[in-house]
Structure 1
Amino acid sequence: MVEQKSLVTIVIAKKVLHTRYYVTRLFKYGVLKANAQSIKLWLEFAIPKLGFKSVVKLIEDLNDDSNRLIEKAVYWLPMLISENEKRSWNLLEKLTEKVNCSPI
């Protein structure tokens, strides 16, 4: 289902995956298959289950020149953070700096 980029995949996963290990594995697999738009769905899936800091760390670890995950995530992440979450905003700022510092 992930290969076909089915939205049903994430809906089902939200309901049945409760352990951190399985959520992390599915997120890693799905986010690497995601395009610039569908990455938002994967972020919405993972952040409540893993936490913002963990998701940012996973994105940093999985990012490379071929998938450019950080650039895709930085676009969607501000919409997924409430204004009073200062730690999350600080993490996002550091992540954004990595995008701005990377050579084009």
Structure 2
Amino acid sequence: MKSLQDVLYNWLTIKVVSDARPDDTAAKDTTELFEEKLIGEHQLSNIEFTKDDTMYYVTYLQEGEPKKTRFPRELIEVMLDQINQEPEKYQNYPLED
């Protein structure tokens, strides 16, 4: 089992990608996987995030108790930046019927 901090970091990183690329099915599926871990393994609910010029802030309830953590933007946006710099390497493939 990964630490809560690791799962939150991974979830937020792929969530930012998924939000920026709504047709990216792999990003959407991966976001859902990490959400399941946050809810099932770490008992989180009401997971939300905001950002400012330097940080992302994640707020959530863990077993009913409000909590907050933060991550530097450059760490969270590194995957999206890489995708935007080389989009040909990150094509979305439609689901097969």
Instruction: Compute the TM-score of the two structures, normalised by the length of structure 1.
Output: 0.32
Higher percent of residues as strand: 2
* Bigger relative contact order (CA 8 A; separation at least 6): 2
Instruction: Compute the TM-score of the two structures, normalised by the length of structure 2.
Output: 0.34
Higher percent of residues as helix: 1
**Larger Rg: 1 or 2?**
2
